[in-house]
Amino acid sequence: MAEWMIEILLDADGYRPVGVEIIVLQPMEIILLKLRIASQIAVAAFTITLVCDLAMNGRKIIADGKRISIEASAGGFSRLLFTIFSIIFLGLLGFVYAHEILIPFLLDYLAKDASTAGLDSTWQLRSWIGFIMGLYIGSIVSFQIPLAVVILIRAGLLERKTVTDNRSFLWFAAAVFGAFVSPPDPLSMFLIGGPMLVILEIALLLERITSND
């Protein structure tokens, strides 16, 4: 999958701003790039698997840990289907956001920033593709966080009031996440963390409306 993604990015238009040259500095660069992308794919796959497991067995896992008994609830398969649908929907939403807004803006921003300083833009292949793939996977994974929070609330591991009373920490965590996967300027950090917080607020509102409490 990593090799296939690299080929797509190299052949696609729109990922290399005008005046930017892409270079390879060492023979092992492609292999190292594949390993980096493969590890990112593995993290994304693990996150999705964990969310599905929590959706199916979260309440039972928490009950076993607390040594309490719970009634067997029906509809486990339907919950799993809904979770998978939500993961796909949020993942596609994150992909479209990264493809249409985030990546074009940041690549153009970086190229113009170098041009304004009077510098020629020469980007290393591994850094260039790694940056793009990091933004794609980071957006897809970050858009799953609201779903994970709702599942943790429904499983009883997290209280809704705890989340709503600590919004300032959520904003800080979103800013840190944005700085980790993008240039550390305020606008880029907001473009990464902002949509995640908006979706989280919507998810919390829907969870409160549909909750039986």
Judge whether residue 69 has pLDDT over 70: no
Global confidence as pTM? 0.76
For the stretch 175-184, pLDDT in tens is: 777 666 655 5
Kindly report, residue by residue over 26-61, the tens digit of the pLDDT.
778 888 888 888 888 888 888 888 878 877 776 666
pLDDT given at position 66: 54
pLDDT per position as a tens digit, 122-133:
888 888 888 888
- Look at residues 176, 1, 203 and name the one whose alpha carbon lies nearest to residue 93: 203
How far is the C-alpha of 96 from the C-alpha of 147, rounded, in Å?
18
- Per-residue confidence (pLDDT) for residue 22, from 0 to 100: 81
Asked if residue 134 lies in contact with residue 98, where contact means CB atoms within 8 angstroms, the answer is no
Q: What is the mean pLDDT of residues 83-92?
A: 89
pLDDT band with cut points at 50, 70 and 90 for residue 72: very low
